[in-house]
Structure 1
């Protein structure tokens, strides 16, 4: 797959994440993998995806280290696709995307919900700061800033955004 990351975004973690996991079929394959699917025919039947598209997406997921290709049968040789630790670490992202989608539907319109495996009670996924437990959806309380590996363009971007936020916070409202 050709890279869609713009040169100026090459150090942005969001851009690189979208390159690996943001493609339509990739998200659906990962969702199926989280549901326990491992075999080519399971993915194909579940997603109604063409053989060539599924082959290409699985190859990319293996190359990116999100799935591991393992033989499960020797005669004829057949492989299954198992989530790696890196792949499993995307589960909260998939859960958050599904929760966002459900948030914009009436309860009776939801075709899939996240539930507690032990109780069957519906869960309400939120993303929180592990240190404080505070919700991260408050864009005034949590903002992006340049990190230690940021280059000059990234540092300039967040220096300017920081000034803008400071001005908005200190300017009296009419």
Structure 2
């Protein structure tokens, strides 16, 4: 059986903590849609085809975790919108990495899919890759995780 949500929230591993916040498919897709400018509850529900109760719970969690914030609707109506916080905006690189992994591994050759393009120049985004301190590519083969040591 997997770790509880509480265990992930207090884990020493940054990946486990991140997964506790945005690790389910709906949370990631909500954040993706907000990046794409879909900011109102009804728009998010239509885009995702998600039930009201699940969307409400995921939005509540994303707001409580500081990934999204609510603000008055930009058109002056009584509605409110969801907006990315700095913490939420910092997920852009994560979503680009997921997108690029999906493009590289989950589509057949020539199969159509959406593209992420630069606004200036209408060009595709360069493939992300981790770099060492000198700017050289680095992989799991030449990196390691230093485990936290506890003093006795």
TM-score class normalised by the smaller sequence: 0.7 to 0.9
Contact 1:5 / 1:15 at 8 angstroms: preserved in 2? no
Q: Does 1:31 align with 2:32?
A: yes
CA distance in 2: counterparts of 1:107 and 1:124, whole angstroms? 19
Name the structure 2 match of 1:103: 104
Q: Does 1:83 align with 2:87?
A: no
Pick from 135, 138, 146: which aligns with 2:137?
135
- Listed one character per residue, the Cα deviations across residues 38-65 of structure 1 (whole Å, up to 9, x for unaligned) are 1111101111111111111100000000
Cα shift at 1:32: 0.3
CA distance in 1: counterparts of 2:85 and 2:26, whole angstroms? 18
Pick from 118, 121, 129: which aligns with 2:120?
118
User: CA separation of 1:76/1:116 partners in 2, compared to 1, >3 Å: closer, same or farther?
Assistant: closer
CA distance in 1: counterparts of 2:40 and 2:149, whole angstroms? 42
Contact 1:70 / 1:80 at 8 angstroms: preserved in 2? yes
Give the CA RMSD over aligned residues.
2.5
Question: How many residues are treated as equivalent by the alignment?
Answer: 146
Structure 2 length normalisation: TM-score? 0.83
Structure 1 length normalisation: TM-score? 0.74
Structure 1 stretches of 4+ with a deviation exceeding 4 A read none
Name the structure 1 match of 2:57: 56
Name the structure 2 match of 1:17: 18
CA distance in 1: counterparts of 2:28 and 2:49, whole angstroms? 14
The gaps in structure 1 that reach 5 residues or longer are: 156-174
The gaps in structure 2 that reach 5 residues or longer are: none
CA distance in 2: counterparts of 1:142 and 1:97, whole angstroms? 20
CA distance in 1: counterparts of 2:78 and 2:40, whole angstroms? 13
SS in 2 for 1:80: strand
